[in-house]
């Protein structure tokens, strides 16, 4: 069966081109479940894959897209039947397995989550991996003992996908949220999602040799890494936690043990990709019920194949604000 997809190819050595083309489902990888993708979304990792980053995708030609939501068309696994509405995020989807920027994917059943009743397929991809990861960060902070009366919670990379969903979710749960952003012009937009205060990203990434700074944050969701993560550790209040999920500033930071042994702070690692499927299902179930966000539509720009390449470029350059939803039927 023929379908449309974005195909990234290496035209000349280290020169990559991306174009929308017609492919055939016969050439999809082996797998138990064939899914007709209705929606996908754009993540930083997709922008890397689409620009030829071999740390993400080893072999080209390739169709990126780490997120997909759609309808099962064929299943060799008894857990799924034709017509089921499902979500696939992470594992190898879009990395070295043809991903959600095509109208069909074929994947192992172990990657597939049944779409919860309370969440539309479209809404699941308004969230996508970024929104799912924000929820995972919040889940980890709560499990580490965070409570509403502990004080302010910081979110870095606030206008990005993880950031804006983390702000909306923490604010819905009654936390006092402070947004760190490099886009001061987006302050009102961030307040609309529940940010009580805004700080400049440059303030967070400032170098400071002192091993501890004045305590401020009860907790933090950090997508930056680098100096920002170091400064968060130095400014967490006694017993506070940071959920670290990203590296937009830097994958490297040079911490001292003092915040850990003098203030008993917690550095919580967050990975959405290899998370066991039962945990993935549980987080999606939460996002469809008590954590359902009313503000999803406001954070999303819907695009079709025509706008895909330009939007990926914006994500790669850190210029995107909120989430891009890809409608594969348009």
Ligand X SMILES: NC(=O)c1ccc[n+]([C@@H]2O[C@H](COP(=O)([O-])OP(=O)(O)OC[C@H]3O[C@@H](n4cnc5c(N)ncnc54)[C@H](OP(=O)(O)O)[C@@H]3O)[C@@H](O)[C@H]2O)c1
Residues that bind ligand X (CB under 6 A): 43-45, 129-130, 133, 157-163, 181-183, 201, 223-224, 245-249, 270-273, 315, 318, 320
- Written as six digits, the tokens of 165 are 């969903």
Q: Which is nearer to ligand X, 23 or 204 (CB)?
A: 204
Least CB distance to ligand X at residue 319 (A): 8
Residue nearest to ligand X (CB): 160
Helix (H) or strand (E) holding 17: strand 15-24
Of 198, 264, 205, nearest to 231 by C-alpha is 205
Rg value, the chain, Cα: 20
Closer to ligand X by CB, 201 or 280: give it. 201
Q: How many CB atoms lie within 10 A of CB 1?
A: 12
CB of 8 to ligand X, least distance (A): 18
Which structure tokens are listed for 94? 């879009």
> Minimum CB separation from ligand X for residue 81, in Å?
30
As a whole number of angstroms, the distance between CA 233 and CA 132 comes to 24
Q: Are 248 and 224 in contact (CB under 8 A)?
A: yes
How many other C-beta atoms lie within 10 A of the C-beta of residue 271? 10
Rounded CA gap, 231 and 218, in Å? 14
Torsions phi, psi for 21 (to 5 deg): -145, 175
Smaller CB separation from ligand X, 23 or 233: 233
- In this structure, what token pair is assigned to residue 187? 């302050």
| Distance in angstroms (rounded) separating the CA atoms of residues 78 and 185 | 51
Q: Between residues 18 and 23, which has the closer beta carbon with respect to ligand X?
A: 18
Q: Which CB, 32 or 139, lies closer to ligand X?
A: 139
Shortest distance (Å) from residue 112 CB to ligand X? 18
- Nearest approach in angstroms of CB 183 to ligand X is 4
Query: In the complex with ligand X, which residue's Cβ is closer, 63 or 227?
Result: 227
In the complex, the smallest distance separating the C-beta of residue 78 from ligand X, rounded to whole angstroms, is 30
């Amino acid at each position: 069966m023929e379908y449309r997809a974005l195909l990234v190819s290496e035209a000349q050595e280290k020169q990559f081109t991306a174009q929308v083309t017609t492919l055939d489902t016969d050439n999809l990888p082996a797998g138990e479940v064939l899914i007709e993708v209705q929606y996908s979304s754009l993540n930083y990792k997709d922008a890397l894959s689409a620009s030829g980053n071999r740390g993400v995708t080893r072999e080209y030609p390739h169709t990126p897209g780490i997120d997909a939501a759609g309808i099962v068309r064929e299943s060799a696994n008894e857990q799924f039947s034709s017509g089921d509405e499902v979500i696939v995020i992470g594992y190898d989807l879009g990395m070295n397995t043809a991903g959600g920027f095509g109208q069909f994917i074929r994947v192992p059943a172990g990657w597939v989550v049944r779409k919860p009743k309370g969440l539309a397929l479209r809404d699941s991809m308004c969230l996508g991996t970024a929104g799912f990861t924000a929820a995972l960060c919040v889940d980890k902070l709560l499990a580490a003992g965070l409570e509403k009366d502990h004080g302010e919670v910081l979110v870095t990379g606030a206008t990005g996908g993880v950031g804006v969903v983390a702000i909306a979710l923490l604010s819905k749960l009654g936390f006092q949220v402070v947004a760190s952003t490099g886009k001061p012009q987006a302050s009102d937009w961030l307040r609309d999602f529940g940010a009580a205060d805004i700080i400049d990203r440059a303030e967070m990434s400032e170098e400071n040799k002192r091993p501890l700074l004045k305590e401020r944050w009860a907790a933090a969701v950090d997508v930056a890494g680098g100096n920002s993560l170091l400064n968060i550790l130095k400014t967490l209040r006694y017993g506070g936690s940071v959920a670290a999920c990203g590296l937009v500033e830097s994958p490297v930071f040079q911490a001292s043990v003092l915040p850990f042994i003098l203030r008993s702070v917690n550095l919580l690692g967050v990975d959405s990709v290899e998370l066991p499927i039962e945990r993935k299902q549980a987080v999606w179930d939460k996002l469809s019920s008590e954590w359902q966000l009313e503000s999803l539509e406001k954070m999303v720009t819907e695009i079709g194949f025509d706008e895909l390449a330009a939007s990926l470029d914006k994500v790669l350059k850190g210029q995107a604000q909120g989430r891009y939803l890809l409608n594969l039927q348009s």
